[in-house]
C-alpha cells in the first residue's frame, strides 16, 4: 500500500456503487483525499451515510469518519464510477446507474471478484469506458457506513483500457493511499486475482478456516487447486506462476479470511458462481481438467447453497 498523502491537487467526482466493505473503504479514503464522493446505495443505507458519513477503522489508514454524498441513483456525470457490490446483487444495483447519465469521459472500474462481470458491464456501458479492476484488501462492512479494514494492504490492479486512461485513475487513487498497478494484460489481472482467491475462498469457506489453516491443514488441496486454476488461467491467456501463487498464501496474514467465508457465516448468498462457477466454465471451454476445484465447488454449494455451475 502506498502511504497516504491525504490531499489531492485535482479533485474529481467519484461515484461508488455499493458502499460496503470495499466500496465504503474507498469512498472514505477518496473523500479524505479531497475528492467529491457520491455513494449509490439503497435508501436506508444512503440516509445513514448522508447523516453520519463513512467511518473507517483501519490499522493502515487510521480511524476516521469521512463526509460523503449519498443517493439511490446516479443523476449526473462523474469522472470515475467504482462498482463494489457483490456479484449476487450486481444486476439489481446497476439499475441505479442509467447508461445515459455517464459523461463522455466517465471511467467505470468494477472491483468485484470474478472474471465474467467485465463483459456484461461493457455490454451495458460501452467497452471504451469499462476497465478491468481487481482489489486486494480485507474490508468488512460491520454496519451501514462503518468499515473495518483488517489487511495491511489495499491494492488495485487495473487493465483493459488505454494506459493514459488507467494512469489518470491511478493518479486519483494513489494519493488516497491505495496501491495501484497497471497490469500487463486484462487476462493476467483478472485471472491472477481469481487464481489466488478461488482456492482461498473455497477452502476457507468449506472448512471455516483462515489463511493459516489453508496453508497447513489443507495444503494438499491448496496445491492442487492452485495448479488446476493456474492451468485454466494460462489457457485463458494469463501468464501466471503457480509457485509464486503458493508463496502468496504463505506470506499473507495468518488470520486472513475470505469474503466468501464471511458471507457463509452471516447466512448471505455466496459469490460461488462468480468465483468457482467461472473457473469451472472456463475449464470446460478450454478443456482443462479441474477435479479438485469441481469437488470443492460442489461441497461448498451443498453446504451453503448455490451450484457454482
Ligand X SMILES: NC(=O)C1=CN([C@@H]2O[C@H](COP(=O)(O)OP(=O)(O)OC[C@H]3O[C@@H](n4cnc5c(N)ncnc54)[C@H](OP(=O)(O)O)[C@@H]3O)[C@@H](O)[C@H]2O)C=CC1
Ligand Y SMILES: CC(C)(CO)C(=O)C(=O)O
Give the position of cell 457520491.
38
CB 242 within 8 A of CB 199: no
Residue 199's binding partner out of ligand X, ligand Y, none, with CB under 5 to 8 Å set by partner kind: none
Q: Is 88 in the site for ligand Y (CB under 6 A)?
A: no
Q: Is 87 in the site for ligand Y (CB under 6 A)?
A: no
Separation of alpha carbons 253 and 261, rounded Å = 16
Q: Is 238 in the site for ligand Y (CB under 6 A)?
A: no
- Cα–Cα distance list, 186 to 35, 160, 284 (Å): 27, 5, 21
Site residues for ligand X, 171-190, by CB under 6 A, read none
What radius of gyration do the chain's Cα atoms show? 18
Instruction: Name the residue nearer to ligand Y (CB basis): 18 or 53.
Output: 18
Least separation, in Å, of the C-beta of 46 and ligand X?
Answer: 8
Give the position of cell 447453497.
305
User: Total residues at the site for ligand X (CB under 6 A)?
Assistant: 28
> Do the strands 36-40 and 13-17 form a parallel or antiparallel pair, or are they unpaired?
parallel
Of 14, 108, 135, 222, the one binding ligand X (CB under 6 A) is 135
Segment contacting ligand X by CB under 6 A, of 29-37, 39-47, 174-182, 243-251 = 39-47
Q: Is 249 in the site for ligand Y (CB under 6 A)?
A: no
CB 269 within 8 A of CB 217: no
Of 148, 210, 271, 273, the one binding ligand X (CB under 6 A) is 271
Binding flags for ligand X, 95-134, as an x/- string (CB under 6 A): -x--------------xxx---------------------
Q: Is 138 in the site for ligand Y (CB under 6 A)?
A: yes
Residue 92's binding partner out of ligand Y, ligand X, none, with CB under 5 to 8 Å set by partner kind: ligand X
Segment contacting ligand X by CB under 6 A, of 1-9, 135-143, 155-163, 281-289 = 135-143
Q: Kindly list the residues in this chain that would bind ligand X in the complex (CB under 6 A).
A: 18-23, 41-42, 45, 84-87, 89, 92-93, 96, 111-113, 135, 137-139, 141, 144, 259, 271
Q: Kindly list the residues in this chain that would bind ligand Y in the complex (CB under 6 A).
A: 113, 136-138, 197, 200-201, 258-259
Amino acid at each position: 500500500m502506498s502511504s497516504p498523502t491525504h490531499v489531492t491537487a485535482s479533485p474529481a467526482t467519484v461515484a461508488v456503487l455499493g458502499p460496503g466493505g470495499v466500496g465504503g473503504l474507498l469512498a472514505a479514503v477518496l473523500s479524505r483525499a479531497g475528492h467529491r464522493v457520491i455513494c449509490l446505495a439503497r435508501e436506508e443505507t444512503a440516509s445513514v451515510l448522508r447523516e453520519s458519513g463513512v467511518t473507517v477503522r483501519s490499522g493502515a489508514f487510521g480511524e476516521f469518519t469521512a463526509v460523503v454524498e449519498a443517493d439511490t441513483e446516479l443523476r449526473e456525470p462523474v469522472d470515475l464510477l467504482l462498482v463494489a457490490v457483490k456479484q449476487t446483487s450486481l444486476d439489481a444495483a446497476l439499475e441505479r446507474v442509467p447508461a445515459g447519465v455517464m459523461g463522455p469521459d466517465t471511467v467505470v472500474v468494477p472491483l468485484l471478484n470474478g472474471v465474467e462481470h467485465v463483459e456484461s458491464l461493457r455490454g451495458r456501458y460501452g467497452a471504451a469506458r469499462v476497465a478491468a479492476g481487481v482489489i486486494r484488501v480485507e474490508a468488512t462492512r460491520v454496519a451501514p457506513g462503518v468499515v473495518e479494514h483488517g489487511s495491511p494492504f489495499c491494492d488495485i490492479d487495473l487493465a483493459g483500457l488505454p494506459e493514459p486512461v488507467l494512469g489518470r485513475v491511478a493518479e486519483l487513487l494513489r494519493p488516497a493511499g491505495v496501491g495501484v498497478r497497471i497490469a500487463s494484460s486484462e487476462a493476467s489481472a483478472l485471472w491472477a486475482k481469481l487464481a489466488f482467491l478461488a482456492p482461498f475462498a473455497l477452502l476457507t469457506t468449506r472448512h471455516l478456516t483462515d489463511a493459516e489453516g489453508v496453508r497447513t491443514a489443507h495444503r494438499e488441496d491448496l496445491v492442487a487447486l492452485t495448479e488446476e486454476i493456474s492451468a485454466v488461467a494460462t489457457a485463458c491467456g494469463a501468464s501466471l506462476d503457480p509457485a509464486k501463487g503458493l508463496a502468496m498464501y504463505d506470506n499473507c496474514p495468518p488470520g486472513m479470511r475470505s469474503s466468501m467465508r464471511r458471507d457463509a457465516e452471516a447466512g448471505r448468498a455466496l459469490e460461488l458462481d462468480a468465483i468457482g462457477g467461472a473457473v469451472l466454465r472456463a475449464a470446460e471451454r478450454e478443456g482443462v481438467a479441474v477435479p479438485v476445484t469441481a469437488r470443492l465447488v460442489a461441497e461448498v454449494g451443498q453446504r451453503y447453497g448455490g451450484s457454482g455451475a
